[in-house]
Amino acid sequence: MKIAAVQMVSTPDVGRNLAAARRLVEQAAADGAALVALPEYFCLLGHHERDKIALAETPGDGPIQDALSAMAREGGVWLVGGTLPIRIEGVSDRALNACCVYAPDGALAARYDKMHLFSFKTGAEDHDESRVLRAGEKPVAFDAAFAGGAAALRVGLSICYDLRFPELYRALGEPAPCDLLCVPAAFTYPTGEAHWELLLRARAVENQAYVIAAAQGGRHENGRRTWGHSMIVDPWGEVLACLAEGEGVVSAELDPERIAAVRSRLPALAHRRADLAGAPDTAR
């Protein structure tokens, strides 16, 4: 089956971003994609960190969530809806960075709240998501069924900075390994240039799964530059599709037989040692 990653250069204008996302999801669906992924903060890259607090929606209710549901339903696709800010009951100065997934009928199928909050400082950039976000509490994976006799997929969710924490992906593989790992992202240019492809391919290889990474990619109106390079990686670590910069869609075929062949030929998942999950003995 075909899967597609949407790359955007989002702006501080929510309406413009939603219109761009809708157009690109329609393009991917028309090209035959059965699952489409949007990037982190597809709905807003504002001028200030706190802009996302004002935009935060109540779980299950809001124009951004309604738009995502409509995109999935109208395109007849599974839609991994990048991320949007979700309100925390009783908390006014923080939000959750949530990835909402919608089934082809528009129903909410899963929601994952970003567990690892990004912090990075250079001479030109100073990021600390904990100033406006609260970390999520648990990994989330879901099963996606497809029409036409296509095999169902086990899909694991993660967001951007999560990519640096392989233990999250191991947790997503319990009790059964994922077939597809999703990584909506807005990597900074310097961290993306250094580590983005390296980490995506590592996560694919060590979990013997496809990885779909929809990214922000370009110079934004708020002055920020994101790395882009939205890509799809196969279970052997081969990059099947990549868009370096600018708005667009990349797609590739996901073949369940490819997953089975890799896992059969090199049964690393079966060779994992459960007794290594705890703390090591203290050396004497």
* 36: CATH: 3.60.110.10
pLDDT band (50, 70, 90) for residue 280: low
For 261, the enclosing helix (H) or strand (E) is helix 256-265
**pLDDT range class, residue 44, cuts 50, 70, 90:** very high
CA distance readout (Å), 74 to 25, 62, 84, 150: 10, 18, 20, 20
pLDDT in the model for residue 273: 80
Q: For residue 8, how far is the Cα from the chain centroid? A: 13
Asked if residue 20 lies in contact with residue 45, where contact means CB atoms within 8 angstroms, the answer is: no
Confidence of residue 127 (pLDDT cuts 50, 70, 90): confident
Confidence of residue 283 (pLDDT cuts 50, 70, 90): low
Locate the DSSP E strands across 16-167.
Answer: 33-37, 78-80, 84-88, 91-102, 108-113, 119-121, 126-128, 141-144, 153-157
Tokens encoding 130: 């904990």
Distances (CA, A) of 271 to 17, 251, 260, 263, 267: 45, 32, 15, 11, 6
Tell whether 281 is covered by a domain: no
Read off the pLDDT band of 122 (50, 70, 90): confident
Give the lowest-confidence range in 11-20, 31-40, 66-75, 273-282.
Answer: 273-282
Region 107-117: mean pLDDT is 98
Report the pLDDT averaged over residues 49-63: 95
- Selecting among 43, 52, 114, 242, the annotated active-site residue is 114
d(CA 118, CA 108) in angstroms, rounded, equals: 26
Annotation says 138 is catalytic:
no
Beta pairing partners, 79: 36, 102
CA dist 20 and 8 (Å) reads 8
Which tokens is 199 given? Answer: 């980490």
Tokens read off for 32: 């035959």
Confirm whether 282 is domain-assigned: no
Strands 91-102 and 33-37, bridge-based pairing:
unpaired
Distance CA(94)–CA(207), nearest Å, equals 33
**Does position 278 have pLDDT exceeding 70, yes or no?**
no
Does residue 156 sit within a domain? yes
Domain of 27, in residue numbers: 2-271
State the average pLDDT over residues 106-133: 88
Does the N-terminal peptide bond of residue 175 adopt cis geometry, omega within 30 degrees of 0? yes
| Annotated catalytic residue, options 40, 57, 129, 245 | 40
Is beta strand 119-121 parallel, antiparallel or unpaired with respect to 126-128?
A: antiparallel
Mean pLDDT of the region 216-228: 96
Confidence grade of residue 267 (pLDDT, cut at 50, 70, 90): very high
Amino acid identity, residue 196? W
Structural tokens at position 212: 């779909």
Q: Is residue 63 part of a domain?
A: yes
The strand pairing partners of 113, in sequence order, are 98
Please tell me which residue in 99, 160, 182, 242 is annotated as part of the active site: 160
Mean pLDDT of 271-282: 70
- Name the band, by pLDDT with cuts 50, 70 and 90, for residue 121: confident
Could you tell me if residue 280 is inside a domain? no
Confidence (pLDDT) at 58? 98
Q: How many domains does the chain have?
A: 1
Distance CA 118, CA 113 (A): 13
277 found inside a domain: no
- DSSP assignment, residue 268? T
The mean per-residue pLDDT over the stretch 226-251 comes to 98
Instruction: Note whether residue 145 is domain-resident.
Output: yes
> Is the distance from CB of 116 to CB of 165 less than 8 angstroms?
yes
Q: Is residue 182 part of a domain?
A: yes
Digit-coded pLDDT (tens) for 3-18: 999 999 999 999 999 9
Mean pLDDT value across residues 174-194 = 96
Is 257 a known active-site residue?
Answer: no
147-163 average pLDDT score: 93
pLDDT at 281: 58
Give the residue with greater pLDDT, 130 vs 83. Answer: 83
The verdict on whether 125 is a catalytic residue reads no
Dig out the tokens for 48 from the structure. Answer: 């200030």
